[in-house]
Homo-oligomer: A and B are copies of this chain.
Amino acid sequence: MNTAGTHDPVATIEALALGARAAQADLAAMPGEGRASAIRAAAAALREDSEAILAANVRDMAAAQTAGLSPALLDRLLLDDARLAGIADAVNAVADLPDPTGEVISRDVRPNGLVLERVRIPIGLIGIIYESRPNVTADAAALCVRAGNAVLLRGGSEAVHSNRAIHAAFARGLASAGVPAAAVQLVPSQDRALVGAMLGAAGLIDMIVPRGGKGLVARVQADARVPVLAHLDGMNTTYVHAAADPGKADAVVIDAKMRRTGICGAMETLLIDAAFPGAGAVLAGLMAAGCALRGDARAQAIDPRIGPAHDADWDTEYLDAVLSVAIVDGPDDAMAHIARHGSGHTDVIITEDAAVAECFLARVDSAIVMHNASSQFADGGEFGLGAEIGIATGRLHARGPVALEGLTTYKWLVRGSGQVRG
């Protein structure tokens, strides 16, 4: 199916997509347990091919070091025995998730006797466009196949050898269990025009999931004619209400910021109610944990070590041990700040006042709204969904952590006995 030799990117993607769509029809017709077995065979093949995959990764790492990639990017690219075993384990875990398809979402018998059912089915063909992490090749393929979808995988050129080796093992495993190889295809990563062709393939690719930095996601959102399940910023705010428990506030705030500073669920802005008596302790705790604070005038007045926040800080996703802090006057003030500066990802209130908490949960219009918990729980695994294909910050189709259900749609089945509308 690989037509990378042609010079027309649209024709190349069309050929890959048509092959994938044909394979998807077979995949959708398999029982869910058959798809699970095929995914387990893919996991086994990844283990069998570990030497070849790690050798391919050595080539990618060498080229990346020569090209001067940052230590963070090199770390994302790196595979070793433990990471590869983790990838295979994650693939097996996806096989263990319940089949999301076939569920009867609703059922109704009309007065004229027509029996209506809405039944969950695969979406069809998913396109994944991602950057340096080669584990996405296996993770995303497993999730798509579990839900009965075919997938076109477009990884970054820096991971080309690793992705090819992982894909070869995965597809061989699937094929050994009767899944057509064309159900999971790697789009050649050398030709950047192929990304544009994927984004324009309306009617051929049913949904595109970009996984990577803001630049990638923004480009995909701006250019796509295909529906996109996109994750934008995680401009997450935690609001410590006047009636917050000081101990919970300290612990939740430090976890939300410092557990891992680089993930999308990390807190980026802290709002402390002027009537909360423990502000000094919360801020001192953050600084003691190694966090730099940028505050408004009232926050700065609490502790001289707090630097000034500039206008841009309230809209900056630091993804680092840096935090904006403002003192606010009550929940309305806090919710107005979130409405203005938040990105609709994950916002949190810390309070012992249940009525205030429920008002915050009802009124804050974000994908995830939490009471007395760390925003770092914003994760498909922590939500009990199994692996996630991504966290969606859009409003349609799926919101927040998106797992297998987000890779499905439905159709209406109508069973009659000769009814006419007349």
Contacts and interface: CB of A to CB of B under 8 A. Distances in A.
Interface string A362-380: 1101111111111011000
Interface residues of A, number: 67
Interface string A25-42: 100110000000000000
A399 interface: yes
Contact of A377 (B371, B394, B419): B419
A108 interface: yes
B251 A373 contact: no
State the majority secondary structure of interface residues on A: mixed
Nearest to A248: B418
Interface stretch (A65-73, A135-143, A406-414): A406-414
Contacts of A255: 420-422
A409 B422 contact: no
Nearest to A207: B396
A305 to B, nearest CB: 24
A421 B369 contact: no
A403 to B, nearest CB: 12
A386 interface: no
A219 interface: no
Protomer copies: 2
A392 to B, nearest CB: 10
Contacts of A221: 202
A27 to B, nearest CB: 12
A420 B366 CA distance: 20
Contact of A366 (B383, B394, B411, B415): B411
Given A370-B414, A416-B370, A376 B110 contact: no
A417 interface: yes
Contacts of A369: 411-414
Interface string A148-161: 00000000000000
A371 B225 CA distance: 34
29 contacts: A25-B339, A29-B363, A108-B384, A110-B382, A114-B373, A114-B382, A116-B383, A202-B221, A207-B396, A245-B418, A251-B418, A251-B420, A259-B422, A365-B411, A366-B411, A368-B412, A368-B414, A369-B414, A372-B416, A373-B416, A374-B419, A374-B421, A376-B420, A377-B416, A382-B421, A383-B412, A399-B410, A399-B412, A400-B411
Interface of A: 25, 28-29, 108, 110, 114, 116, 121, 123-124, 202, 206-207, 221-222, 225, 227, 245, 247-248, 251-252, 254-256, 259, 339, 357, 361-363, 365-374, 376-377, 382-384, 394-397, 399-401, 409-422
